[in-house]
Amino acid sequence: MKLTGSQIVTECLIEQGVTDVFGYPGGQVLNIYDALYKAGDRINHILTAHEQGAAHAADGYARATGKVGVVIATSGPGATNLVTGIANAMLDSVAMVAITGNVPTHLIGKDSFQEIDITGVTLPITKHNYFIKDINDLAPCLREAFQLAKSGRPGPVLVDIPKDVQLATAEFTPEGVVPRLPERKSRDKRFDEAVKLINECQRPYIYIGGGVMSRNLGDEIIALSEKIDGCIGCTFMGLSSVPDSCNRFLGMQGMHGHYASSMANKKADLIIGIGVRFSDRATGNTLKYAESAKIVQLDVDRAEINKNIPVDVALVGDLKDSLSRILEAVDKKERPEWKSEIEELKKEEALIEKTNLENAKGLHPKYIFDVINKYKTAETVVATDVGQHQMWAAQFTRFTKSRKFISSGGLGTMGYGLGAAIGSAIGTGEKAVLVTGDGSFGMNLNELATAVTYNVPLVIVLLNNGVLGMVHQWQNLFFGKRYSNSVLDRKTDFVLLAEAFGAKGERTDNVEDFERLFSEAMKSEGTTVIEVLINEDEFVLPMLPPGGSIDDIIVSIPKEDKQ
């Protein structure tokens, strides 16, 4: 059948199994929005308050569901407003397709109204992008965009469509959902070396990241840890891929990682990195990272091998394949000494946590997360923004299912959380929890309008300490307590603000009230904002100082040194 470019866009989306798209209309996508209107019974469009919110929503939707997130924006400012969201998806390897309109081809290059070379702008922050000049390329490129976004290491792909291409017509035949591209299998020689290293090691540390989440390999990871009697630690991006109830799981390691996890990483004689990229936030000083350990790395992206940390053996290829073969080939072996060492580390960690709770100035955020853990279900997504609250969430939230922790890791995007939480709630149909801070929330709180309009089931826990907490912490520790521009002397009343948007607003400064408010909010419909007042001098601990190694770990800070 002959369709217009705009119809081809909507038909391709529907054909690729897309049920929800996020976006914002404008001059150069009017035709696409007209086609969406006509296809409204087959595809749902969520209008956000700002294109950035739409991009983060598509990202959160993709992370929570494992599907490809889709965002649509107009040319010029619409497209540039997507940029942070696209970069965020790129750095966290999130499958996303961004569709932008552009001025008609005869106006391209003339600095026309709302004309921006968005393929040029997004070149370094997309897996690939397309500028469609010919209507006959439109459907094949859209299909390829979906395929690239979800294949191998996932990532964002942008398709820029000039208005005249949206209006032109071409023959269109619906096709099926494009499959992921097949992955190469890791080489046998390397495979044998990896198995040998695992069999011969004494202190194995299974180190999992976003790749494990992406391929849903939590069960295989636990099976491996049991077979080799090793412990499991994760990167920030690996959180929730293995349930916290797993006794071998030590949590996140790195700059603000769990003490036991970071120390086990240091003491290990073999690190088995699976879907990790050894980011600077995870390794600290690379020269001192894992000095006494051999490293085996499993990853789908060959470019991650030896990029940040030189490894001894690398298996490049589909993680599911590599991991299941490793799992089968390695010897079952008890490692009781390592196990008891780990138990010692856990005891040390418990003592450190106890000290830190005692040193708290006022309500320690851990108690907030205890309440959240108590009232959320296995299906509840916990999204965060970026800063202290994010690290506390990473340390204290407990998960039982994969894809339930949604947060901006690589880019560290303040303002990511609200959009992402909305996207994940819409994607899963479940109530979501957003943990945010007063700084991050201020960046994109306009999306409260979206949450209220679509009656999104959402509980927003706003930890308000009146400062840009993480900046404040660094300034306290490393800049002689000179709090340059980190004190938010704002007069915002978040309860009134929530109500102005049509949401429910609550405020508390104690955990008893919080428990009551949170449990009620989890039961009620729609969106609730609970502002929790906490002390500005509470620190995220442990902490590896910037550029430092695990030897420089700061585990606690006396109460009197905090102001």
Partner 1 sequence: MSRYVIAVYVDNKPGVLTRVSSMFTRRGFNIDTLTVGEIENPAYSRITISLSGDEYTKNQIVVQLNKLHNVQKVKVLADESAIRRELMIIKMKNNPHNRAEIMAAAEVYKGKIIDYSVETISVEVTGEPVKIDAFIELMKPLGILEMCRTGIVAIERGSETMFSQEL
31 Cβ contact list (under 8 Å, min separation 6): 4, 5, 6, 101, 163, 166, 167
What is the closest distance, in whole angstroms, from the C-beta atom of residue 128 to partner 1 in the complex?
4
Scan residues 146-205 and list those touching partner 1 (CB under 8 A): 148
Give the distance from CA 70 to its chain's centroid: 16
Which of left, alpha, beta for 288 (phi over 0: left; psi -120 to 50: alpha)? alpha
What is the closest distance, in whole angstroms, from the C-beta atom of residue 123 to partner 1 in the complex?
5
134 or 200, CB closer to partner 1? 134
Among 2, 41, 110, 124, contact with partner 1 (rule: CB under 8 A): 124
- Residue 131 is a binding residue for partner 1 (CB under 8 A): yes
In this structure, are strands 169-171 and 2-4 parallel, antiparallel, or unpaired? antiparallel
**Which among 297-305, 329-337, 447-455, 554-562 is the span making contact with partner 1, rule CB under 8 A?**
297-305
Which token pair is 212? 């494990």
DSSP letter for each residue of 425-480: HHHH-S-EEEEEEHHHHHHHGGGHHHHHHTT--EEEEEEE-SB-HHHHHHHHHHST
What is the closest distance, in whole angstroms, from the C-beta atom of residue 386 to partner 1 in the complex?
23
- Residue 141 is a binding residue for partner 1 (CB under 8 A): no
Among 57, 228, 305, 383, contact with partner 1 (rule: CB under 8 A): 305
110 or 523, CB closer to partner 1? 110
Q: CA geometry: angle at 402 spanning 351 and 280, to 5°?
A: 60
Among 50, 56, 63, 127, contact with partner 1 (rule: CB under 8 A): 127
What is the closest distance, in whole angstroms, from the C-beta atom of residue 235 to partner 1 in the complex?
21
- Residue 303 is a binding residue for partner 1 (CB under 8 A): yes
Q: Is 520 a catalytic residue?
A: no
Q: Is 470 a catalytic residue?
A: yes
128 or 401, CB closer to partner 1? 128
What is the closest distance, in whole angstroms, from the C-beta atom of residue 303 to partner 1 in the complex?
4
34 or 301, CB closer to partner 1? 301
What is the closest distance, in whole angstroms, from the C-beta atom of residue 13 to partner 1 in the complex?
21
CB 416 within 8 A of CB 94: no
Q: Is 349 a catalytic residue?
A: no
From the candidates 22, 115, 150, 163, give the one annotated as an active-site residue. Answer: 163
Scan residues 435-464 and list those touching partner 1 (CB under 8 A): none
131 or 441, CB closer to partner 1? 131
- Residue 307 is a binding residue for partner 1 (CB under 8 A): yes
From the candidates 96, 470, 522, 543, give the one annotated as an active-site residue. Answer: 470
In this structure, are strands 69-73 and 96-102 parallel, antiparallel, or unpaired? parallel
- For residue 542, cis peptide bond before it (omega within 30 degrees of 0): yes
Residue 228 is classified by DSSP as: H
What is the closest distance, in whole angstroms, from the C-beta atom of residue 152 to partner 1 in the complex?
9
- How far, in Å, CA of 97 to CA of 17, rounded? 13
Host H or E run for residue 371? helix 365-375
CB atoms within 10 A of CB 355: 14
**Which among 7-15, 96-104, 211-219, 301-309 is the span making contact with partner 1, rule CB under 8 A?**
301-309
Among 193, 244, 301, 321, contact with partner 1 (rule: CB under 8 A): 301
Contacts 24+ apart (CB under 8 A), 116-122: 116/75, 116/76, 116/77, 116/79, 116/80, 118/75, 118/79, 118/80, 118/158, 118/160, 119/158, 119/160, 121/79, 121/80, 121/83, 122/83, 122/86, 122/98, 122/158
From the candidates 114, 196, 226, 430, give the one annotated as an active-site residue. Answer: 114
- Residue 120 is a binding residue for partner 1 (CB under 8 A): yes
Cα–Cα nearest to 114, from 130, 125, 101: 101
From the candidates 113, 171, 344, 347, give the one annotated as an active-site residue. Answer: 113
- Residue 63 is a binding residue for partner 1 (CB under 8 A): no
Q: Is 346 a catalytic residue?
A: no
Q: Is 494 a catalytic residue?
A: no
CB 516 within 8 A of CB 502: no
Query: What is the total count of residues that contact partner 1 (CB under 8 A)?
Result: 14
Dihedrals phi, psi of 434, to nearest 5 degrees: -110, 125
What is the closest distance, in whole angstroms, from the C-beta atom of residue 162 to partner 1 in the complex?
14
What is the closest distance, in whole angstroms, from the C-beta atom of residue 71 to partner 1 in the complex?
20
From the candidates 51, 115, 515, 536, give the one annotated as an active-site residue. Answer: 51
470 Cβ contact list (under 8 Å, min separation 6): 386, 387, 388, 391, 540
Gyration radius (Cα) of the chain, Å: 24
- Residue 106 is a binding residue for partner 1 (CB under 8 A): no
**Which among 63-71, 158-166, 295-303, 392-400 is the span making contact with partner 1, rule CB under 8 A?**
295-303
Among 84, 93, 119, 440, contact with partner 1 (rule: CB under 8 A): 119
Give the distance from CA 446 to its chain's centroid: 21
What is the widest separation between alpha-carbon atoms in the chain? 74
Catalytic residue list: 51, 113-114, 163, 470
Name the residues that contact partner 1, by CB under 8 A. 119-120, 123-124, 127-128, 131, 148, 301-303, 305-307
